[in-house]
Amino acid sequence: MPKIYVEIGERVTFSKTVGEADVYMFAGVTGDLSKNHVNEQAMAKTRYGGRIAHGALLVGYMSTASTRMTEKAFERCAEMTPVSLGYDGIRFLAAVALGDTITVTYAIAGIDEEKLRSLANIEIVNQRDELVAVGKHHMKWLPD
């Protein structure tokens, strides 16, 4: 039977300062031009005091962390191709302002060897160590 090359408790991290270019390029690609993300003047009057990053951009950073985990598996001579089955329980707990530095932690929480699947818990914190987003990621490991 093929082996999944990750272990429960194994984790990777990804850190990034969320810049104006990140938000504007994401807005352009997705067409999400909400004032929350692209109108500084309007958002300066809100409780946020300025623009905030798209929640879906944070999910993209979650995907980056999952890629880092699969790269570790490939380094172990994995004979499997991992593919995402999706995310569950994604919650945005606090806003991410432009200029915030976020750190995504992707931790393997479960493995189903029979179904060739892994489950990871994902947490994103900002530079003040405040939890800003959480989710779960399901991965399928397909034999080559």
The predicted-structure confidence for 33-44, as pLDDT tens digits, reads as follows 999 999 999 999
Q: Give the domain ranges of the chain.
A: 11-17+56-143
Give dist(CA 142, CA 52) in Å, integer.
37
**Model confidence at 1: pLDDT above 70:** no
Reported as a single tens digit per residue, the pLDDT across 45-86 is 999 999 999 999 999 999 999 999 999 888 877 688 899 999
pLDDT for residue 93:
98
**Four-way CATH pick for 11-17+56-143: 3.90.79.10, 3.10.129.10, 3.10.20.740, 3.30.1330.10:** 3.10.129.10
Burial grade of 68 (CB within 10 A; 0-12, 13-18, 19 or more): middle
The answer on pLDDT for 131 being more than 70 is yes
